[in-house]
Amino acid sequence: MVKGEKNNMKLEDGVVCLKLSQKMDELGIKGESNFYWVKINDVTDGNKEKWIVTLDIWSSQEIPHEHYKAYSVAELGEMLPRRLDEYADLICEKRKDEMTVYYGGNDGCGEILRCLTEAETEADARAKMLILLKIDKYTSDSKNKWWCKGDNYLDIKLYEEDGGLTNDKKELLKIVMQYVEDGGGDCKIDEVAIEQNIQNLIDDIEVLAIRIESGEFYEEPNDEFC
Amino acid sequence: MNYENQVVSLELSKRLKDLGFKQESLWWWIIRAEGNPIIVGKDKRYTTTFISSSYSAFTVAELGEMLPIGIVMTKYEFNKGGEIRWACAYNDENIGNRICDDTLANCLARMLIWLRGKKII
């Protein structure tokens, strides 16, 4: 296939996936969208329940029972803040096999990275960033706690919000989260190879907490004043 | 956001077609014998009557698929006047360029045109 020519996209591929759409709705993230995930009974397939993406073409009497806004890449681009602070601008980057969204830049002393999300599609990477910014509000006071927060951090926070953790794990989680907020960053969680699978991530928190407490990952926190 | 801002403008869509980009997309610009150009879904393209010409109206997601690895996009404030625009760049060891436009779709379309001009794609 010639580079620059591949294009056989479905509507579903250009919008946020259903799972993230539901999460955005649950968290009260609001924006304009021309598209919706709608639950239907497919009469051509034994009345099976299916989720499809449609345009917002129904009248107020016809609004389907269960539906979620399916934000497109362009719509998500409008919703994401241009920058978090004077050093951290929104950057979207196409990398091999994934799209990356991050807030970063150069503060005069070096590269900084406040947060980063990745996904197979651009829409999902942008949606994850919006979710991260919603569950963990960025303020100028909390600036120093924002160092390389990423997908692992987001996964744990969402899992925590869903009440999926036992009390023991919650305590361990505090150690990990404190470490991330003190400047360890999400990339350190990656170092112990516990990404992708949320259950593995939770299972490995114990190992990670022990390693953090032993000082194995200790680094100077990002210094605002260089 | 209206539909028109989600896809490449008519003018740039024409240029993409002229440059030989494959006309395969979810949305189409339709020029009818009478009336203004309209955007229709690909299913409607074949049922709309009196079409004199049509052009793929690529979405941001489609353009993202067509662009090579290494494309970077960012938002910026134009002339510090509060107007937000989009910029994208292609970073290569030897080639770098920055392209700007009011909408992300048009910005990426301009990048495709530039890359084709440089024979990178």
pLDDT digits (tens, 9 = 90+) for B64-111: 999 999 999 999 888 777 888 999 998 755 555 789 999 999 999 999
Q: Specify the residue for token string 């907490």.
A: A209
Tell me how far apart the alpha carbons of residues B95 and B119 are, in angstroms, rounded to a whole number: 12
Given a contact cutoff of 8 angstroms between Cβ atoms, the answer to whether A192 and A155 are in contact is no
Task: Select the residue of A7, A74, A82 nearest B75 (Cβ to Cβ).
Answer: A82
User: Looking at beta carbons, which residues of chain A come within 8 Å of B22?
Assistant: 5, 7
User: Cβ distance A101 to A128 under 8 Å?
Assistant: yes
A100 part of contact set with chain B, CB < 8 Å: no
Token pair of A167 as six digits: 């009390």
For testing contact with chain A, the best of B65, B108, B118 (most A CBs within 10 A): B65
**CB count in 10 Å sphere of residue A45:** 9
Give pLDDT, residue A150: 79
Three-class secondary structure of residue B62 per DSSP: helix
Which residue in chain B has the smallest CA separation from A88? B74
Residue B47's pLDDT is 65
Q: Which residue has the tokens 């009974």?
A: A41
Please tell me the distance in Å from A225's CA to the nearest CA on chain B.
Answer: 25
Which residue of A lies nearest to B17 if distances are taken between CA atoms? A5
Q: What pLDDT score was predicted for residue A3? A: 44
User: How many Å apart are CA A149 and CA A188, to the nearest integer?
Assistant: 10
Sequence ranges of the domains in chain A? 11-74, 151-220
A52 Cβ under 8 Å from any chain B Cβ: no
Please report the pLDDT score of residue B27 as a whole number.
Answer: 93
pLDDT, average across residues B13-37: 91
- Residue A126's nearest CA partner among A153, A94, A92 is A92
Mean pLDDT to the nearest integer, B7-29: 95
Distance from the Cα of A221 to chain B's closest Cα (Å) equals: 27
Please report the sign of the dihedral spanned by the C-alpha atoms of residue A56, residue A53, residue A31, residue A83: negative
pLDDT per residue rounded down to tens, chain A (226 residues): 334 445 678 889 899 999 999 999 999 999 999 999 998 887 888 888 889 898 876 655 666 678 999 999 999 999 999 999 998 999 999 998 899 999 998 888 888 888 999 999 999 999 999 999 998 888 888 777 777 787 877 877 787 777 777 777 777 777 777 776 666 666 555 554 444 455 666 666 666 777 667 766 555 545 444 3
The predicted pLDDT at position A203 comes to 66
pLDDT at B85: 92
Q: Which residues of A touch B5 (CB under 8 A)?
A: 74
Strand partners, B87: B74, B100
User: From B105, which residue of chain A is nearest by alpha-carbon distance?
Assistant: A74
Whether A34 and B3 lie within 8 Å, measured CB to CB:
yes
Measured over all CA atoms, what is the biggest interatomic distance in chain B, rounded to whole angstroms? Answer: 49
| pLDDT score for A216 | 66
pLDDT of residue A217: 59
